[in-house]
Chain A
Amino acid sequence: MTSNLAIKLSQVSKRYPHFNLSKINLALEEGCIMGLIGPNGAGKSTTIRLLMGLVQPDAGEVSVLGHSMPSSQVKAKWEIGFASEDMRLYKNATIEWHMEYLQSIYPSWDKGYAETLLKRFDLIPRQKIKGLSHGQRVKAGLLLVLARRPKLLILDEPTTGLDPVARHEVLNELMEVLKDETRSVLFSSHNTQDVEQLSDQITFIDRGKVVNSQDRETFLERWQRIRLDLSKSDWSENNLSSSQPGVVDIQQSGNLAVVTTNQFNPDMVSAYQQQGAEILGVENMTLEEIFVAEVHSSRQGAEK
């Protein structure tokens, strides 16, 4: 149901001379947080521009907070807080000027919260933007977005280039924001740690296509690595891969094999054991490992 979706992209395509975004389907329910992960040039920023109405799709439909984009972008943008890594504030103006300017525009501007964020981010309101460090600029940008209390936050690479302390502060503030269960968030990153920490839904994007989109727990539960000792069995790599569904990678060295699966269930372990393999261990994978494996698998599939 569109009315319960903060974001919906249906079969959205956008063609550029050297890049195509192909038939993207994406849905984010209200109150959820989606992390959009992809390598550089994967199509994350183009997807976000489509959502902001800055780019018109060649095909498909884009809906944000129930508003069709880009035709109803004005209505949608009143309720969206957007910040991107390549967005800059006016260098000769102060943080205070930016705050007052946005306060004059947005009736929802929360002055008290803005003051709180100023202190929390250790920002000086009368400081000009050109005198700020990169971390301070990002925090100032985030302040300007958060203090307007938007229903939907769209953040394009919000933590890129931040030092560990600034990144920690930004992530902490985002965690605070996310306590509001009515607020939806979409943020893109190639930092899987940030996404793993914040998101409850994760979408992998690569070469202009959505590779996979699921909730975080499903990703982490389904993607497992099984270490096998095959010395008491006569298995080869071929029958290892064909014996179980969801096997995406097998690394074999002598009698030792490591099977990576994206459809893990305990029955797999039993099945391997019944056929003579000794289970040396079942390991969880990090989101980064899952992402790399997903992209690798998707690219191999595309090349076949």
Chain B
Amino acid sequence: MNTVMIKHLFVKDWQFCRNALAFYFAIGVASLFLISVASKLSFYVGIVLLVSILIIIGAHLIFVTVVNERKEQTLSFVMSLPVTFSDYTVAKLIANIVAFLIPWGLLVAGVLSVISFNADIPNGLIPFALIVLLELFVAYLLVLSVALITESEVWTIVMTTICNIGVSLFWFWISSFAGISKHIQGETAIWNTTAASIILIELMIAALIIIVTFWCQSRKTDFL
């Protein structure tokens, strides 16, 4: 693997996104504050803001590092460097996943901490929150994969829209599992088979998306 050049491509993408990520992260921290305030309205506004900011972070990363690179014809510049298309794919996946996971991880840790340490919010919400927030990561990977494979702005927008609509549907769907819903209001977090299975399936889907992306990209013969 061309690790030297993959690192250079990673650094380039990180440099282009870090300021925006810092800005979004600050909004994410503000949403944590709203969640922690002892008010139902503030809690719901905070949750909506947090989910929105995670979706925006994902969309921003994908559009700046993948879609715009093709649309604004800077991909030719990248591919003139000593890299193969496989190197490009690896660099894009690593840069995007790392750049997403840093704010996502910090904000997820923040949410779980707020739930744990705030007496007004039941700890039973923790498994549900983790499942929902993990779904945002999986959806992000799916959109990233579509952007890389289709090389199409339109398809990326379509998939982003589908995933965003899917978030609320996913919440309802997850709430319908008895193993999840009956513990949400509980005082302690219950990590039963249902919760563990859903998390495991989410992680498996994430891994599958990455594998399929590599497979599809490796079959391409023309890159520009």
The chain A residues found within 8 Å of chain B, CB to CB, are: 49, 52-56, 70, 73-75, 77-78, 80, 82-84, 86-93, 101, 104-105
Q: 5 nearest interchain CB pairs?
A: A87-B76, A56-B221, A77-B82, A82-B80, A88-B73
CB-nearest residue of chain B to A77: B82
Shortest distance between the CB of B87 and any CB in chain A (Å): 8
Interchain Cβ contacts under 8 Å between A and B, 17 examples: A49-B224, A52-B80, A53-B84, A54-B223, A70-B84, A73-B84, A74-B82, A74-B83, A77-B80, A77-B81, A77-B82, A83-B80, A87-B77, A91-B72, A92-B16, A104-B8, A105-B81
Contacts of A52 in B (CB 8 A): 79-80
Q: Scan B1-39; emit 1 where CB is below 8 A from any A CB, else 0.
A: 010010010001000100000000000000000000000
- Say yes or no: B77 contacts A89, CB within 8 Å: yes
Q: Does B74 contact A (CB under 8 A)?
A: yes
Contacts of A101 in B (CB 8 A): 8, 12
- Residue in A49, A74, A89 whose CB lies within 8 Å of B84: A74
Looking at B2, B80, B224, which has the most chain A CB atoms within 10 Å of its CB? B80
Shortest distance between the CB of A109 and any CB in chain B (Å): 13
Q: Scan B72-108; emit 1 where CB is below 8 A from any A CB, else 0.
A: 1110110111111001000000000000000000000
How many residues from B make CB contacts under 8 Å with A? 21
Contacts of B5 in A (CB 8 A): 74, 105
* A89 with B74, Cβ < 8 A, contacts A78-B82, A82-B80, A105-B81 known: yes
Shortest distance between the CB of A132 and any CB in chain B (Å): 14
CB-nearest residue of chain B to A89: B77
CB-nearest residue of chain A to B72: A88
- Say yes or no: A87 contacts B8, CB within 8 Å: no
CB-nearest residue of chain B to A86: B73
CB-nearest residue of chain B to A156: B76
Complex: how many Å from CA A260 to CA B76? 42
- Say yes or no: B16 contacts A86, CB within 8 Å: no
* A54 with B224, Cβ < 8 A, contacts A88-B74, A89-B77 known: yes
Contacts of A93 in B (CB 8 A): 16
CB-nearest residue of chain A to B69: A90
- Residue in B74, B84, B87 whose CB lies within 8 Å of A90: B74
Shortest distance between the CB of A149 and any CB in chain B (Å): 14
Contacts of A90 in B (CB 8 A): 16, 74, 77
CB-nearest residue of chain A to B12: A101
CB-nearest residue of chain B to A70: B84
* A74 with B80, Cβ < 8 A, contacts A55-B221, A86-B73, A88-B74 known: no
CB-nearest residue of chain B to A79: B82
Complex: how many Å from CA A91 to CA B16? 11
Q: Scan B33-72; emit 1 where CB is below 8 A from any A CB, else 0.
A: 0000000000000000000000000000000000000001
- Residue in B73, B83, B87, B223 whose CB lies within 8 Å of A87: B73
Complex: how many Å from CA A89 to CA B74? 6
- Say yes or no: B2 contacts A54, CB within 8 Å: no
CB-nearest residue of chain B to A145: B80
Complex: how many Å from CA A177 to CA B102? 46
- Say yes or no: B8 contacts A54, CB within 8 Å: no
- Say yes or no: B79 contacts A54, CB within 8 Å: yes
- Say yes or no: A77 contacts B83, CB within 8 Å: yes
- Say yes or no: A55 contacts B224, CB within 8 Å: yes
Beyond A78-B82, A80-B80, A87-B76, 8 additional contacts (C-beta under 8 Å) are A54-B222, A74-B2, A86-B73, A86-B76, A87-B77, A88-B76, A92-B16, A101-B8
* A105 with B8, Cβ < 8 A, contacts A55-B224, A74-B83, A78-B82 known: yes
Shortest distance between the CB of B80 and any CB in chain A (Å): 4
Contacts of A80 in B (CB 8 A): 80
CB-nearest residue of chain B to A98: B77
Contacts of A77 in B (CB 8 A): 80-83
Shortest distance between the CB of A102 and any CB in chain B (Å): 8
Contacts of A78 in B (CB 8 A): 82
CB-nearest residue of chain B to A104: B8
